[in-house]
A and B are shown apart, each in its own frame.
Chain A
Amino acid sequence: MNVFKDAGHLFRLAAVFLVGTLAFLGMRVFLVPKSFGQYGHYRGDAMAEIAARPVNFAGHQACEGCHADVLEKKKGGRHARVNCEACHGPLAKHADDPSVQPVKLDTAVLCVGCHEENAAKPKSFPQVASADHSTGLACDTCHQPHSPAITAGGAK
């Protein structure tokens, strides 16, 4: 046993390493969240946390539940596939509680957001130079926003 004659310091060092390793493993059990590694090298619960965020835009399905009359007006018109909140803005609060009233829109500024003339817009998209086209008049003077074509009898 000559080899181990002066090996006391090695055993002490090994003991320190052992305690360190055990402390590391022990801490790891406490500090690494349970769901880490559930699906991969990340915290599985993170997805539920991200999904828990409240929505701001209710979605057109929610609008159509109550506003069937508007849906009827839009049908067949050029705006049939434009969803409600694209113009009316985020209204999840209104969908949850109808007493929260949406802001009345000003068509003089709203419509040109899409329909102002621009060379980069697709040629088939209806565009106007608003200064010439309406001279500042609100668009709903002539056009009905939910079905914007001007019919023989004027704005519907």
Chain B
Amino acid sequence: MNITRRHMLLLLPAAAIAWKHVLAGTPESSPNYTMSRHWWSMLIDVPKCIGCGNCVRACQSENDVPDGYFRTWVERYHVSGYDIENPHVDSPDGGKQGFPPALEEGGKNFFVPKLCNHCVDSPCTQVCPVGATFVSPDGVVLIDKKYCLGCRYCVQACPYGCRFINPRTATAEKCTLCYHRITKGLTTACCENCPTGARQLADLKNPKDPIHEFLKTHSVHVLKPHMATGAKVFYNELDGSVR
């Protein structure tokens, strides 16, 4: 079709209206959700993890994560004897299809699920030059895909290796703590599909959440506390060898 000057003039108002829509953003999708009433976190009960990979598969299906990239993954630790500073860690395909039998006999073996720690003082949001990533008022670290330039500062800044560049969109991507589910009253896809209850979504602002009793009565740790990131993913009975 040839676009004449007349066509162009007719198209301009329509384009202006469409652009206004783009600027206004899409309407609120969870009308009954109040951000200020929540402060999300997650509890990982390490001794319950069986390394089945259900969480990894659920996450990839729920969030359309490309093959070979992970918003959550499971690591297997093998510590032989006293050498806890040098654990052998493997995670074949992120643990998506479970784990083959261990290569080394003996020692201490266990699984550790990993995901974004949704830090309060997150290093990744501090380095973003354009304001594309942020800690939401309900405590979830999110990425605004429309603003992300794909500069990768945040990928380097995360001490937990939880971010990657999506090859399809060329923007940074990470765990959203299933923001589209938790704002609708559902739990995250990984927690929903964990068969042993090793992963539990927790709302720290909800006084009735069982997390409060759990934190009081168990030996709970966060990953890399020396980084002072204010990590909000709590690990029960975490071994000292976990990095």
* B53 CB to nearest A CB, Å: 7
Instruction: With both chains docked as a complex, state the minimum distance between the C-beta of A148 and any C-beta of chain B, in angstroms.
Output: 12
Q: Which residues of A contact B33 (CB under 8 A)?
A: 51
Q: Is the interface of B mostly helix, strand, loop or mixed?
A: loop
Q: How far is the CB of A105 from chain B (nearest CB, A)?
A: 14
Chain A, residues 35-56, CB within 8 Å of chain B (1/0): the string is: 1100111110111111111111
Tell whether B142 is near chain A: CB-to-CB under 8 Å: yes
Bound CA–CA A54/B184 (angstroms): 10
Q: B111 within 8 Å of A by Cβ? A: yes
The majority secondary structure among interface residues of chain A is loop
Asked whether B18 is an interface residue with its Cβ less than 8 Å from the other chain, the reply is no
Does B30 count as interface, using CB distance less than 8 angstroms? yes
Residues of chain A within 8 A (CB-CB) of B23 are 33-34
A34 close to B131 (CB less than 8 A): no
Does B62 interact with chain A (Cβ within 8 Å)?
A: yes
Q: Are A50 and B147 in touch, CB under 8 angstroms?
A: no
A46 touches B144 (CB 8 A): yes
B76 within 8 A of A: yes
Contacting residues, chain B, for A57 (C-beta < 8 A):
58, 61-62, 181, 186, 189, 192-193
Q: Closest Cβ of chain A: how far from B17's Cβ, in Å?
A: 15
What is the number of residues of chain A that contact chain B, defined by CB distance less than 8 Å?
Answer: 44
- Among the stretches A5-13, A16-24, A120-128, A133-141, the one at the interface with B is A120-128
The bracket for how many chain B residues form the interface is 35 or more
In the bound assembly, the distance between CA atoms of A118 and B136 in angstroms comes to: 40
Within 8 A of B (CB), among A104-156: 113-114, 116-122, 125
Query: Which residues of B are found within 8 Å of A125, using beta-carbon distances?
Result: 50, 196
* CB pair B134 A51 closer than 8 Å: no
Judge if B54 is at the interface, Cβ distance under 8 Å. Answer: yes
Give the complex CA separation of A53 and B48 in angstroms.
30
B29 at interface by CB-CB < 8 Å? yes
Tell me, rounded to whole Å, the shortest Cβ–Cβ distance linking B101 to chain A: 6
Q: Which of B35, B109, B186 has the most CB of A within 10 A?
A: B186
Which residue on B lies nearest to A46, using beta carbons?
Answer: B144
Docked complex Cα distance between A149 and B127 (Å): 53
Whether a CB of chain A sits under 8 angstroms from the CB of B157 is: no
B-side contacts of A40, CB under 8 Å: 134-135
In the complex, chain B residues whose CB is within 8 Å of the CB of A122: 47-50, 110
Q: How far is the CA of A85 from the CA of B27 in the complex (A)?
A: 30
Question: How far apart are A102's CB and chain B's nearest CB, in angstroms?
Answer: 14
Tell me the chain A residues, 59-73 only, with Cβ under 8 Å from chain B: 59-61
Given contacts A35-B25, A36-B131, could you give 17 more A-B pairs where the C-beta distance is less than 8 Å? A42-B134, A46-B25, A47-B136, A49-B144, A51-B180, A53-B63, A55-B184, A57-B189, A59-B186, A79-B195, A85-B58, A87-B195, A113-B52, A114-B52, A118-B98, A120-B110, A121-B50
